[in-house]
Amino acid sequence: MHTDTTQTRTRLFRAVTIFASGMGAAILALWAMDIAGLDLAGRSDASVIGAIVLGLATLAGAGSAHAYFVGSDDTSDAYEMLLNTDPVTGLLSRKGFADALVRQMEAEDNASGLKRSFLISLDFDSLRDFNDVYGMETGDALLKVFGERLRRIVDDAGLIARTSGGEFVVVLAGTHDERELRAAVDALLGVMSLPVRVGQASHSVFWNAGVAEIHHRKSSVERMLRNANLARANARTASRGTWSIYHPEMSQVAAYRSWIEAELHGAMQREELHLNYQPKVSASTGETLAYEALLRWNHHRKGIIPPSEFIPVAEHCGLIQQIGDFVLRQVCEDLTVLPPHITVSANVSPAQFRRDDFVPNLARLLTETETDPARLEIEITESLLIRNHVAMRRVLDSLRELGVTLAIDDFGTGYSNLSNLSELRFHTLKIDKSFVDRLGDHDPSAGAMVSSIVGMARSLGAEVVAEGVETDAQATMLKAAGCMIMQGYLYGRPVPLSTILREQQADEEADEREALLDQADNVYRLPSLAAAG
Ligand code: C2E
Ligand code: CA
Ligand code: CA
């Protein structure tokens, strides 16, 4: 039945095309004769007309043949369908979404009312990690699961598309106010962020979302998508798992990044970059064991610009190499004035670490500054390690040969399990602040998770540092879970080296005073003791 209709439609289409080509040719012929000043009714040069008609007939023939072989309404329908559908999830593609939204906007253009529509752009930023660790097939299967989740939540109420990678777009129609919108987006993210299971392992899922209002008359779909994505990027900068609503100021963010890039060049020359040091403290004794070097930019006009704003730009524009060299050199120099039992860790960006000359340059620096390699630790984020597991191993081996230790930073934000990383033989594991925060939220699973991370790290012979410890309650729970090194505002904020040296000196002076007092005490007491005796 279906094939019959298909064939009829195809035949009809061809006939219409051929007819249209013929008509086109006829019109063209009349028009050409008009131009040539020829008159069909009057005396005419038969050979000229013959040539023209022959040429046009050929054209018409070619046109109809072209239509016959290339196009039928069904193949073009199928082609259109292909373009409009995302092959992985079966949802709309970016193009399909844009077309559908334009149609919807046109239909609703005249419908007035108090209801508003919003475009929500969602991004699952760890798709690449999943692909790297488990393979593309698992990544695709994951996208299908996400697509299904969206279908179930949104149902027929709105358009859903996968626009690229782990990026999905949803239209939320018929919302009254911002409160309703907030509730809806929270619910959406709540469902999308449910953990996923791959084999035996359950993985946390983080989404960021951006929302832009659909203004029927004024805006193009592309502009609205751009705005929603900008809002999403803004939310991502603040924290994983969050969302925000587009605000025109966000367009200035892009401009701000260009400004940073331009200014960063001068910052190096003007010596506006310096390091702050944050202590890592023994949970049992309260003693400072080490420091983490954290970069600061004190711009001559703007003041302090946080690393979260300029490091990504530096990585993007390549300046991170120069900046990274500066950090490592400064750390080596500062180590000479810190007590010999203190170690310092430096953050190294993936872009720095990937360069072939990273280890040789570091070796040269250590020799030049006469630094004991054992006092330097390199912090690398977990995501970098899982992305380039094999290549990383070589670099890490040569780092270890140098005698420099390695810390895995932000552990728990990527998707590696510890056994994956165990071959890398790292020295320190830093539990990400997001876990520590969850401890504070009395999330019972977080405590169990931290305990198991500590247990596994210990069995691998690694130290565990908890990052971002802010409250006594968190510290107590971390200690109960077996974590013995703490870093966070509760123990000390990042401060310039001069502050540390001043405090060090004050401590030494206090110790001396105490010793003198003890002596004085003894001197004073001795006679009285003697008298008593
Ligand atoms: P990170 O390596 O995870 O550094 C820890 C961040 O947490 C630091 O932010 C630190 O100041 C902050 N922090 C520490 N304790 C607490 C706490 O109790 N509460 C809260 N809310 N925050 C705490 P900072 O200094 O802004 O650095 C941000 C990120 O910038 C660093 O994250 C690191 O990824 C990057 N970064 C900093 N310095 C460098 C550097 O020299 N090179 C590279 N490549 N990246 C750097
Ligand atoms: Ca770090
Ligand atoms: Ca960290």
Q: Domain map of the chain by residue range?
A: 2-77, 85-247, 270-496, 497-533
**Ligand with smallest separation from the Cα of 294:** 1
Contact 161, 93 (CB under 8 A): yes
pLDDT, tens only, 103-119:
888 877 656 556 788 99
Q: What distance in angstroms lies between residue 296's CA and the mean position of ligand 1's atoms?
A: 10
The position carrying tokens 């003697």 is 530
> Rounded to an integer, what distance in angstroms lies between the CA atom of residue 310 and that of residue 173?
38
Q: Is the CB of 488 under 6 A from ligand 1?
A: yes
Closest-CA residue to 335 (of 361, 364, 370): 370
> Quick check: do 85-247 and 270-496 share a fold?
no
Ligand 2 being an ion, which residues bring their Cβ within 5 A of it? 347, 379, 409
> Rounded to an integer, what distance in angstroms lies between the CA atom of residue 106 and that of residue 269?
55
**Quick one: which H or E segment has residue 244?**
strand 243-245
**Burial environment of residue 139 by CB neighbours within 10 A (0 to 12, 13 to 18, 19 or more):** buried
| The CATH number of domain 85-247 is 3.40.50.300 | no
- pLDDT higher than threshold 70 for residue 281: yes
What CATH number labels 270-496? 3.20.20.450
**Quick one: which H or E segment has residue 73?**
helix 73-84
Q: What distance in angstroms lies between residue 173's CA and the mean position of ligand 3's atoms?
A: 40
Out of 53-67, 227-241, 242-256, which region has the weakest mean confidence (pLDDT)?
Answer: 53-67
The position carrying tokens 């990585």 is 315
Q: Where are the alpha helices (DSSP H) in 373-496?
A: 382-387, 389-402, 418-422, 433-440, 444-459, 472-480
Closest-CA residue to 467 (of 490, 436, 440, 438): 436
CA 474 to chain centre: 27
467 is catalytic: yes
Q: Is the CB of 349 under 6 A from ligand 1?
A: yes
Q: Is the CB of 395 under 6 A from ligand 1?
A: no
Most confident of 62-71, 299-308, 325-334: 325-334
The ligand 1 atom nearest the CA atom of 410: 3
Q: Which residues contact 19 (CB under 8 A, 6 or more apart)?
A: none
Q: What percentage of the chain has pLDDT greater than the value 90?
A: 52
Most confident of 190-204, 283-297, 410-424: 283-297
Q: What distance in angstroms lies between residue 408's CA and the mean position of ligand 2's atoms?
A: 8
When pLDDT is cut at 50, 70 and 90, the band that residue 28 belongs to is very low
For a pocket test of ligand 1, which of 260, 273, 275, 294 has the largest count of ligand atoms closer than 8 A to its C-beta?
Answer: 294
Contact 411, 433 (CB under 8 A): no
Closest-CA residue to 260 (of 532, 348, 445, 268): 268
Closest-CA residue to 253 (of 274, 226, 214, 273): 226
pTM for the full predicted model:
0.62
For a pocket test of ligand 1, which of 344, 347, 354, 410 has the largest count of ligand atoms closer than 8 A to its C-beta?
Answer: 347
Q: What is the 3-state secondary structure (H, E, C) of 175-194?
A: ECCHHHHHHHHHHHHHHHCC
**Ligand with smallest separation from the Cα of 410:** 3
**Ligand with smallest separation from the Cα of 491:** 1
Q: What distance in angstroms lies between residue 40's CA and the mean position of ligand 3's atoms?
A: 87
Q: Is the CB of 281 under 6 A from ligand 1?
A: no
When pLDDT is cut at 50, 70 and 90, the band that residue 36 belongs to is very low
> Rounded to an integer, what distance in angstroms lies between the CA atom of residue 88 and that of residue 152?
17
Contact 127, 139 (CB under 8 A): yes
Q: What distance in angstroms lies between residue 240's CA and the mean position of ligand 3's atoms?
A: 14
Selected catalytic residue, list 401, 467, 508, 512: 467
